[in-house]
Amino acid sequence: MSAYNFKKEFVPPIRTGGKKQTIRKKRKYQCKQGDMLQLYTGMRTKYCERIMDDQECKSVDDIIIYRDKIEINGIFLSFFDMVTLAADDGFDCLADFLLFFHDHYSLPFTGVLIKWGSKDKNIL
The rounded mean pLDDT for the chain is: 92
Q: Are 77 and 68 in contact (CB under 8 A)?
A: no
Residue 113's closest CA among 55, 65, 69?
65
Task: Give per-residue pLDDT as tens, 69-108.
Answer: 999 999 999 999 999 999 999 999 999 999 999 999 989 9
Domains (range + CATH), the chain? 2-118 (2.30.130.30)
Pairwise CA distance, residues 70 & 28, whole Å: 23
Percentage of the chain beyond pLDDT 70 is: 94
pLDDT average, residue stretch 38-53: 92
Per DSSP, the residues of 43-54 read: TTSTT-EEEEEE
The whole-number pLDDT of residue 119 equals 64
The whole-number pLDDT of residue 1 equals 78
Task: Detail the DSSP E strand segments found in the chain.
Answer: 2-6, 21-24, 36-41, 49-65, 70-72, 75-76, 109-118
Number of other residues whose CB lies within 10 A of the CB of residue 3: 12
The whole-number pLDDT of residue 120 equals 55
> What's this model's pTM, rounded to 2 decimal places?
0.89
How is residue 5 annotated by DSSP? Answer: E
